[in-house]
Amino acid sequence: MTRFSAAQIAMLINGTTEGDAAAEVGGFGKIEEAVAGQLSFLANPKYEDFLYTTGASVIIVNESLQLKQPIAATLIRVADAYTAFATLLAKYEEIMSQQLTGIQEPSYIAKSAKLGSNVFVGAFAYVGNNVQVGNNVKIHPQVYLGDNVHIGDNTILNAGVKIYHGCVVGKSVTIHAGTVIGSDGFGFAPQADGSFKKVPQIGNVVIEDEVEIGANTTIDRATMGSTLIKKGAKLDNLIQIAHNVEVGRSTVIAAQAGVSGSSKIGNGVMIGGQAGIAGHLQLGDGAKVNAQSGLGKSLKPNTSVTGTPAYNYSQAIRAQAVAKNLPEMEKRIQDLEQLVKQLLAEKLNA
C-alpha cells in the first residue's frame, strides 16, 4: 500500500502537524487498536485515554484538544477531527475505486446503451436498451439496469443493485448491495366482489446528486410522475419508500423505517429507526421523528415527536418521567383519601 507522510495528510485536510511531520502511515486503525504505521483519529472525548497508549504513528485530533501528558505519535490538528477523518477516508476510497475500470465477462450491455469514460462493469451485470451511464461510474457484479435508466457521473452501484426501467440516478450517488429502485408501488383498487385490481405504476424514481442509500432498501416507482429523493439525502439499510414519496434535501432516515405513499418529507428531517410514516402526510423542514414512532399526522417545521401514536417529544419525556412515579403517586392518593375520610368523620362527630 502507498504510504503518506503526516505533512502530506495535513495538506489534504487543512490541518497542522505537531511532532514529526515526516512520520509515514500506510493504513488506518481504531485508536484503541492501531499499531505503528497506521493513522487514527480522536473525536469522542470518551476515547481520550487511548491517545496516550495507542501505537498509531499519526493521529488526527481537534484543534482544541489539550494534552494531559506527552505522546509519541505525530498529531494533525484540525477544526473537526471526525469530519477531517471522513474526508480522508473518502479520498482514499476514491483512489481505490479509480483502479476499477473495464468490462468484466460475462456481462450483457445492450448495443443502444451509452457508457462514459473510465466505467467499470462487473461480471454478470445487465445494462438494458438506451441506458446512459456517465463517467467514472462503477457498476459492480450482478447489477441490473433496466431500459432507459440514466446514471450520473461518479456514481457507485454495489453488487446486486436493481434499477428498473426509466429511473434516473444523479451524480456521486452511492447505492449499496441488494437495493431495489423502481419496483411497483403498492396500488390496488378494491372491487365489489372483494378482490383487488392492480393499478399500473407508470411513473419512475428520480434520485438526485450526492445521495447515499443503504443495503436492501426499496424505493417504489410512482403511480404517475416520480418518487423523488432529493440532493444529499442519506437512507440507511432496510428502508421502504413507497410510491410518489418525496424525501427532502439532506434528510436522514435510519434503518427499518417505512414511508407510506405520497408523503412529502422536508429538508433536513431526521427519522429514527423503525419509525412508520402514514400516507399523504407533510413533514416540515427540520422535523425529527424518534425511533419506533408511529406518525399519523403532518408535522410543522422543526417539530420533534416520539411514541405511537407520535406526539410532542418534550411532552412525551415529561409523561415518561411521571409514569415512573405512578405507583408511589397512587399510594399517596390513597393515603390522602383516607385522611379526608378521617377528617370528615371527625367533623361530623364534632
Domain ranges of the chain: 4-98, 102-314, 315-349
Residue from 233, 242, 249 nearest 263 by CA = 242
What is the DSSP code (8-state) at residue 32?
A: T
Strand order in the sheet with 58-62: 16-18, 74-78, 58-62, 38-41, 27-28
Residue from 140, 143, 208 nearest 171 by CA = 208
pTM: 0.80
Which pLDDT belongs to residue 313? 77
The active-site residue out of 150, 165, 243, 280 is 243
Number of C-beta neighbours around residue 171 at 10 A = 18
Q: Per-block average pLDDT, block size 10, for the chain (350 residues)?
A: 88 95 94 95 94 96 94 95 92 74 95 97 98 97 98 97 98 98 96 96 98 98 98 98 98 98 98 97 98 96 91 78 83 89 83
The SS3 of residue 213 is strand
Q: Which CATH number fits domain 102-314: 2.160.10.10, 3.30.70.360, 1.10.357.10, 3.20.20.150?
A: 2.160.10.10
Report the C-alpha gap between 108 and 128 in whole angstroms: 8
Q: Residue 227's beta-bridge partner residues? A: 205
What is the DSSP code (8-state) at residue 275?
A: -
Residue 181 in contact with residue 164, Cβ under 8 Å? yes
Which pLDDT belongs to residue 287? 98
Q: Residue 18's beta-bridge partner residues? A: 75
Which pLDDT belongs to residue 98? 67
How many whole angstroms from its chain centre is CA 283?
A: 18
Q: What architecture is the 4-98 domain classified under in CATH? A: 3-Layer(aba) Sandwich (3.40)
Using alpha carbons only, give the angle 121, 154, 235 rounded to the nearest 5 degrees.
Answer: 100
Which pLDDT belongs to residue 60? 97
What is the DSSP code (8-state) at residue 299?
A: B
- Burial zone of 324 (CB within 10 Å; 0-12 exposed, 13-18 middle, 19+ buried): exposed
How many whole angstroms from its chain centre is CA 193?
A: 43
Contacts of 256 (CB under 8 A, 6+ apart): 238, 239, 273, 274
C-alpha cell at 109: 450491455
| Residue 243 is a catalytic residue | yes
The SS3 of residue 180 is strand
The total number of residues shown for the chain amounts to: 350
* Block residue for cell numbers 480522536: 42
Phi, psi of 49 (to 5 degrees): -60, -30
C-alpha cell at 306: 416520539
Residue type, 216: N
